[in-house]
Structure 1
Amino acid sequence: MYTVDADFPVDSIPPGTNLLVTGPPMTGKYDLLIRLLAEGFRHGDGAVVVTTKEGPDRVHAHVTDRAGVDSVAELGVVDCTGREGGRSGDDRIRYVSSPADLTGIGMASSGLIETFADRGLGVRTGLHSLSQLLMYADVKTVFRFLHILTGRISSANGLGVCTLDSEAHDDQTDHTVRQLFDGVIETRNGDGDRSFRLRGLGDADGEWTSF
């Protein structure tokens, strides 16, 4: 089981689970993804982050800051920003030319997941964000990519977390993407704070929780 922090509405998440974090812009989707990944370092898990926006150094800083440590060895990053640089020569970092290269993203992320899983580690994989992928490819193409990625996460008994901007897509796209996930975390802003709720997983009651 994958442990989560005390604010989460379930005590743990079963291996092989994929979660979608969806909400309007600036409602904390990326923060929740980082929280779910960083929690694993306290329990010996590895993590893979597929990033379309932040470079590897910033991802590493966000994860270590949340985990309360100076450095983490078991963190792999697939950088799809197109801004190759930073930690050259680090085999835990894989560079993909752009978010349009779904084949490259799939191969790089699968390789890192396999590396950690072969060492007997639990693997938490985060993708930020699906909305960026949908700017470069149609929903059917992204669906096929996601079907393969979530399947690999499940077969590795991992935990997958992907973010989606709910205001960037029509209802049909949102519905299509949701089909591939075991549970959905919805985020919102209101009354001066951010909140989230979990649906479709375990005994989560769908109540909004501030964070």
Structure 2
Amino acid sequence: MSGTLSDILPDDALSRHRDLLVAGPSRETVWPVPSHILASAVAPDDGLAVVTTRTAARTMVDRLVRDVPALERDNTGVVDGTPTHDEVRVDPRERYWSVPSPVDLTGTSMAVHDCMETLWEQGVADRHMLFDSLSNVLMSTDSETVTRYAHQLLLLANATSAVSVFPIYTNVTDGTDFERLKHLFDGMVRVRRRNGTREVRCVGIDGAATGWVRLGDSEAVSGAEAD
């Protein structure tokens, strides 16, 4: 069986399961599934707060605006936790915030809060969230701390129609850490590669397709790299 992500994860499922963990064996396997989820969730005039710990902030925003049709650049804010920041002026009016490193959890939480407030002040009611990968934080911080941190970020995005998407890469994430984190989320989308295409399986999401489903060819090959 094959289909598009909107066939597999319909809009009414996203209205009931707003905090999603997207899990796969590697970054290359998982992407671009998070952006396809957001494409199903983001409506015109919605906003998005992005936390990036690896991909350049400017590149991340460019790709999300490209891949999420309803998303406008002016409604997108980015918190940059990459080791080498883009040369972008740190100014809330530009919807860009930087923190010293991916493991500056307090700084990131404060920046996400400021990003959400800035989008609200410019008239954006529903503000979705994408955190590029919890695995990048888990490599340097214990899972209990990361779990509390992720829970705090999810609370910041707790709006009626907002969706939060948090990828995790199982090839670099301890099984115990993964089990601890997955209980924070309303549902999970598992991703794998088979014969050159991506397959997804929804876990704990009412109304979603059950079992492994192959994504259509265009979704299977687009956005294979996240850097």
Q: In which range does the TM-score fall when normalised by the shorter chain?
A: 0.7 to 0.9
User: Using a 3 Å threshold, how does the CA distance of structure 1 residues 70 and 49 change in structure 2: closer, same or farther?
Assistant: closer
User: Using a 3 Å threshold, how does the CA distance of structure 1 residues 155 and 65 change in structure 2: closer, same or farther?
Assistant: closer
Gaps of at least 5 residues in structure 2 are 216-227
With normalisation by structure 1, the TM-score equals 0.87
Residue aligning to 1:109? 112
CA-to-aligned-CA distance 1:59-109 (integer Å, 9 cap, x gap): 122112213589621000011002123332552011011011000111111
Partner Cα separation in structure 2 for residue 22 and residue 39 of structure 1: 18
User: Using a 3 Å threshold, how does the CA distance of structure 1 residues 67 and 204 change in structure 2: closer, same or farther?
Assistant: closer
User: Using a 3 Å threshold, how does the CA distance of structure 1 residues 106 and 79 change in structure 2: closer, same or farther?
Assistant: same
Residue aligning to 1:58? 59
Q: Which sits farther off after the overlay, 28-37 or 190-199?
A: 28-37
User: Using a 3 Å threshold, how does the CA distance of structure 1 residues 140 and 16 change in structure 2: closer, same or farther?
Assistant: same
Displacement of 1:174 in angstroms is 1.0
Aligned letter for 2:146?
V
Percent of aligned positions that are identical: 27
SS at match of 2:59: helix
1:30 and 2:34 correspond: no
Residue aligning to 2:221? none
Aligned letter for 1:111?
D
1:164 and 2:192 correspond: no
Aligned letter for 1:33?
P
1:198 and 2:202 correspond: yes
Please give the residue correspondences for 1:60-139 in structure 2 after superposition, counting only pairs within 5 Å. Answer: 60-67=61-68, 72-91=73-92, 92-118=95-121, 119-139=123-143
Gaps of at least 5 residues in structure 1 are none
User: Using a 3 Å threshold, how does the CA distance of structure 1 residues 141 and 134 change in structure 2: closer, same or farther?
Assistant: same
CA contact (8 A) 1:15 1:157 kept: no
| Consecutive aligned runs of 4 or more in structure 1 exceeding 6 Å deviation | none
Equivalences, count: 208
SS at match of 2:31: helix
SS at match of 2:19: strand
SS at match of 2:139: helix
Residue aligning to 2:225? none
When the two chains are superposed, the root-mean-square deviation of aligned CA atoms in Å is: 2.5
Residue aligning to 2:9? 9
